[in-house]
Structure 1
């Protein structure tokens, strides 16, 4: 570890915006890695304060600079936090336990959100964020809080209007608190009951911040990586510490009573108290006498704090609640034992049924695989069985024209069956016919991968079309980026890649990246993306028709806003203030807003704006190529749609408000800021200025777009689908295929303005 220089934050001696307070003892030698994760990415407007408990922690902390607060051995975490806060100079405080880490980009993301909060709303005392968890064997496992945070979006609300935030994991490291707020309530947050162990004390303080806060803001990104230590490595929990858990919940109830907290949050806290108390009895190993006393105290608290008019949950949970309130510990234990036996029996029956069903399926599938492949059968799928779209759909359409003897069958999930064009032959995943069709098909075409269970028979042809030009790291290149690769099984991924016979590419950049990210023996087809053919074949009538369907009046400028997915977000929230932007641009402009398909199940945040007529939510509109044809310009961040849209030779504006964070957390193949497809806006003001003047379509924009097109639209010329069909399905040699038309000789579809002439 290199020697660190002194850093106190703030430019020119000004007060730092954020104090990162690392506190505690050097638990299992983890403090150094914690401080590395902070110091390696500490922004200029932040400072590091280490409240180091014990001489070992102090010796580890000294080389990192900042402010080191030495504390004697045995200092509790609550006291260490208080000592660190007392020496911190920041406007906001962020408490990070000595065993935890900060994910890449977390400090910058949190600071950016704090800046938004300070400029947008008064009275925000707490900014609540997501977190991930790591163990000795896993890294960065996702938490369960992203959905709750995403539902609040970019609003700032009091707890009374956001009761569900009490269910966010009660950690101090997943929230920043305003320093003045912390100091005002320091006694309530630090001078805690002696029976509280460190975990209980943190739970109390974390939830108390929400109860005391005037308003709360949220950030969907994970800003903390919690190290879950093996229970066997920790000191045993004493009986008094067990009872302190109930005391902490009662203290929170009293705090709510004093604060006159509305009924909603009080009911949520009551549910949490009852549920977590029973979970402690059920899951924790306690001596019988301690478990009985714990149950007794939890029962008294449940009766004492039961909200007026409260109704028990339905089902088994309701039975447990009644037994708790009755203080019926023997009955509760008997009920739990009987319930476990019933659950084990049902699980055994389900397992036997599943095993039998799997065996039957495997026997049928293997029998079908032994039969000759059907040379006239091609199976198509796109986006994990969402329907007929993207490159597979364009190939299927050209197949009907050039090779009508080959029958396409689509794999479509039951939920998406109603969206298929009438008459489309299809199968539903998991059905008997699904496995029969997959086994017999000569051709399997997908823009992602087929399931692991699909066998690569020697006489079948697997065609991987992909679904975008890669800016972000893909495949094996994601290994170095835990946020992007969480949950990925790279061995299984490579096994799927080994089934590919052909990989479609739109440009030399993609060809090189695919070969690096997905190393295997497939043949790269440098033929262009079939889905982009329409950008050269569509005429004025088609463009007018799409705009009519979307309700875009003639003469209005249509801007397509299509941001990409961020791995740290569970649901999509527009990064732009669309209401302000549409108001500034006026009646002459309509915004077509498309959320990423990963968020297809999320409720749209655009409902209010739709009613104004200035914004059209096109998140569920397919195909996306029609939206591109209808748009006068594209606004995106890092989405691969920019590479496709560039074929139209229309303006592209990159709204890159979080480029550094995205690049660090997701990983990228090139610096988009140095090689953009047009103008780059880093703030909404910059974007508004571009769109409110003629700068969005000026000569500088055209020059950047020309360079971008020459690099990334290399093989897209309107004949990609024909080349793929002739090469793969008709077996024609490369030299017999239609050559790629040079860029300068191509004629893209007319612009909306040209289409009205």
Structure 2
């Protein structure tokens, strides 16, 4: 550790429900230069847990009963870092988070006093749940911001743990910030800050303890919510935008507490009365009531009309129950009718010439099912394909595509009678596997992240997944397509059943070997990419620990650094809706193209000179083209911990790895993205993960599944050194 650390992580509090040891183990597993850990340990249990980590950590023993404010103050007084991150002993820190925070604070000027970042949530029954803050932080941008211009940042969850504060700023305002009321301290830090910076990446884990394990909430603690907001509103005097946001937060939180906190009637009436007085006293001048039911609630609060408010609550609950009962009755009736229709159809003979296809939960003609269906039309035209497509996506189907809408009468009829059922996910639980029918599971990617039963130890990934029902669906599979031996092993492990693995390659990847220069030029022309321009496809994946898609790059800054001859094809939805945003002008010049809704994705791969991704399975498909791949892994430790992975991508990447935007920019503005070292890594990756993809995968699948040919008579997989991928854009332009 350096003599003057950049970041001091201050762990404070008692060893509540024995959560402290795991937190300290995580911090100790990733020691970092420039980061110090100070443990303000309250009581003997916390001290004993902390002392197991000396001398790596500094331990400050505090007596039993010392409050959170006293523990934070003790840690801050001992800290040597330029920035402070307060971590409560009951909470957690995602793996690698201190490094991420330290790297960002190191680049911040002294005018920035607070760095806000995202967090995940955990309860006694689940961990790694997303917070709603990521998109809000991303919309604000990353530069130093004045709170008065970005008052919505006050809506970020009020934790000290999801923000780092500059040490000098903390000490200058310690009198106000040293309080056991953590949300008050968290909001006050924002109110007092000169500038605020944002980092839309999770760097904290907020653990919500089971309410039944905590002391009962006293009336005074309920009333303290109102008192907190009144103090904050007093601090925001003379700042209209900030005051208005705080006022709305106060009214929202008071109404929520009244509805959800389970207060006794007398306490609820007094709470409502005090909240009413605060709402009237602090209402901003010219503040408009909201419309609809929420507006009625707020109006009744201001009128201190508790009896009428309770009547409204009862009426709403009664109405919701009635609507729910009616919906349930309609659903039961519809289910009975569909079940009857399905049973009747199951009594009919299996249609030997009918195949049902579906992809991505009935979104349209795509992926491996689409490539398989196309080859089926060529080799076995007597088999009639019917696609399952939602009503919303039906208008986007190619002309003449026979399709059914999920839940319709014909939908259940074709599912009951078709000999072949092909999907890259799964058909509904109610589907019956009839004797003589064939279920083909095509999958939709090579697994880096844990899948199937392997998700069980990762609650954020497995949320809502019924593993018994999953296994019953898997037991219907006859065949499972694989693109490489890694996938074959993982599918057998994640989806244990008697299905036969078709080690034939992914049909959707055939195009990477069958497309020629005309096809490459045509797709670039459709996308508006000028000849001679470098096109980089940026395709990040989903994070289970995020509530929505959060931009991980400042795309405008990246585009500026890459220059006018580079086009970014962005395969994701980002939060730059304001016409005045930096991206608006770049879109008009064609330097950033939103291809989030463009299909098929294989076209985008053909058009791109290089791929930038994080953990998306697109890297395995794109590797077939033998073109440069750059990995942007700014949150690898968090992703690996919350989602689970099958191998260490950092050690076996298909090209150079960037851990932040500066590294990514450096790679893309030099030859590092395509130099000899990158080519060597790509070759090893391609040999391992493009094992069976050679341009004839769809043919092998159709011959084996639909034509019943023997495995030994199928076209053999071409050795990788004998394959010729589609020409690169540079080669296509020259030809």
TM-score (norm 2): 0.92
- 2:219 paired residue among 230, 239, 250: 239
CA drift of 1:680 comes to 4.3
Q: Judge conservation of contact 1:220–1:569 (CA < 8 Å) in 2.
A: no
Partner residue, 1:47 = 36
Note closer, same or farther for the CA distance 1:319–1:723 as it changes in structure 2 (3 Å cut): same
Partner residue, 1:261 = 239
Q: In the alignment, is residue 32 of structure 1 matched against residue 29 of structure 2? A: no
Q: In the alignment, is residue 16 of structure 1 matched against residue 5 of structure 2? A: yes
Q: Judge conservation of contact 2:126–2:460 (CA < 8 Å) in 1.
A: no
Note closer, same or farther for the CA distance 1:556–1:28 as it changes in structure 2 (3 Å cut): closer
* Whole-angstrom CA distance in 2 between matches of 1:627 and 1:401: 25
* Whole-angstrom CA distance in 1 between matches of 2:556 and 2:19: 46
Note closer, same or farther for the CA distance 1:159–1:424 as it changes in structure 2 (3 Å cut): farther
Question: Structure 1: which 5+ runs fail to align?
Answer: 1-9, 192-197
Partner residue, 1:135 = 123
Single out whichever of 406-415 and 386-395 deviates more from structure 2: 406-415
Note closer, same or farther for the CA distance 1:166–1:452 as it changes in structure 2 (3 Å cut): farther
CA drift of 1:399 comes to 1.0
Structure 1 SS opposite 2:730: helix
* Whole-angstrom CA distance in 2 between matches of 1:56 and 1:700: 51
Note closer, same or farther for the CA distance 1:550–1:711 as it changes in structure 2 (3 Å cut): same
* Whole-angstrom CA distance in 2 between matches of 1:222 and 1:679: 24
Note closer, same or farther for the CA distance 1:454–1:144 as it changes in structure 2 (3 Å cut): farther
Note closer, same or farther for the CA distance 1:582–1:226 as it changes in structure 2 (3 Å cut): closer
Alignment of 1:618-697 (within 5 A): 618-682=595-659, 684=661, 687-688=664-665, 690-694=667-671, 696-697=673-674
Partner residue, 1:195 = none
CA drift of 1:354 comes to 2.2
Single out whichever of 349-358 and 33-42 deviates more from structure 2: 33-42
Partner residue, 2:132 = 144
Structure 2 SS opposite 1:64: coil
* Whole-angstrom CA distance in 1 between matches of 2:261 and 2:628: 61
Structure 2 SS opposite 1:722: helix
Q: Judge conservation of contact 1:540–1:750 (CA < 8 Å) in 2.
A: yes
Q: In the alignment, is residue 227 of structure 1 matched against residue 207 of structure 2? A: yes
Q: Judge conservation of contact 2:138–2:551 (CA < 8 Å) in 1.
A: no
* Whole-angstrom CA distance in 1 between matches of 2:408 and 2:415: 11
CA offset digits 1:107-128 (Å, max 9, x no partner): 333334434xx25x66332222
Structure 2 SS opposite 1:419: coil
Q: In the alignment, is residue 457 of structure 1 matched against residue 437 of structure 2? A: no
CA drift of 1:731 comes to 1.2
Note closer, same or farther for the CA distance 1:334–1:594 as it changes in structure 2 (3 Å cut): closer
Note closer, same or farther for the CA distance 1:46–1:366 as it changes in structure 2 (3 Å cut): farther
Q: In the alignment, is residue 351 of structure 1 matched against residue 321 of structure 2? A: no
Q: In the alignment, is residue 285 of structure 1 matched against residue 262 of structure 2? A: yes
Q: Judge conservation of contact 1:109–1:661 (CA < 8 Å) in 2.
A: no
Note closer, same or farther for the CA distance 1:326–1:688 as it changes in structure 2 (3 Å cut): closer
CA drift of 1:390 comes to 1.2
* Whole-angstrom CA distance in 2 between matches of 1:248 and 1:153: 28
Partner residue, 2:482 = 505
Structure 1 SS opposite 2:197: strand
Structure 2 SS opposite 1:653: strand
CA drift of 1:735 comes to 1.5
Note closer, same or farther for the CA distance 1:522–1:250 as it changes in structure 2 (3 Å cut): same
Note closer, same or farther for the CA distance 1:633–1:223 as it changes in structure 2 (3 Å cut): closer
Q: In the alignment, is residue 434 of structure 1 matched against residue 411 of structure 2? A: yes
Q: In the alignment, is residue 407 of structure 1 matched against residue 384 of structure 2? A: yes
Single out whichever of 446-455 and 386-395 deviates more from structure 2: 446-455
CA drift of 1:159 comes to 2.5
Note closer, same or farther for the CA distance 1:437–1:249 as it changes in structure 2 (3 Å cut): same
Q: Judge conservation of contact 1:108–1:661 (CA < 8 Å) in 2.
A: no
Note closer, same or farther for the CA distance 1:700–1:138 as it changes in structure 2 (3 Å cut): closer
CA drift of 1:555 comes to 2.6
The number of equivalent residue pairs is: 729
Note closer, same or farther for the CA distance 1:692–1:299 as it changes in structure 2 (3 Å cut): closer
Q: In the alignment, is residue 718 of structure 1 matched against residue 695 of structure 2? A: yes
Single out whichever of 623-632 and 702-711 deviates more from structure 2: 702-711
Q: In the alignment, is residue 102 of structure 1 matched against residue 93 of structure 2? A: yes
Partner residue, 2:535 = 558
CA offset digits 1:554-580 (Å, max 9, x no partner): 233333333333333444455444444
Q: Judge conservation of contact 1:634–1:642 (CA < 8 Å) in 2.
A: yes
Q: In the alignment, is residue 250 of structure 1 matched against residue 227 of structure 2? A: no
* Whole-angstrom CA distance in 2 between matches of 1:315 and 1:406: 54
Partner residue, 2:165 = 177
Alignment of 1:80-99 (within 5 A): 80-99=71-90
Q: In the alignment, is residue 205 of structure 1 matched against residue 185 of structure 2? A: yes
Q: Judge conservation of contact 1:130–1:219 (CA < 8 Å) in 2.
A: yes
CA drift of 1:305 comes to 0.6
Alignment of 1:586-601 (within 5 A): 586-595=563-572
CA drift of 1:482 comes to 4.5
* Whole-angstrom CA distance in 2 between matches of 1:45 and 1:553: 46
Q: In the alignment, is residue 567 of structure 1 matched against residue 544 of structure 2? A: yes
Note closer, same or farther for the CA distance 1:113–1:384 as it changes in structure 2 (3 Å cut): farther
Note closer, same or farther for the CA distance 1:498–1:217 as it changes in structure 2 (3 Å cut): farther
CA drift of 1:62 comes to 2.9
Q: Judge conservation of contact 1:211–1:261 (CA < 8 Å) in 2.
A: no
* Whole-angstrom CA distance in 2 between matches of 1:552 and 1:519: 45
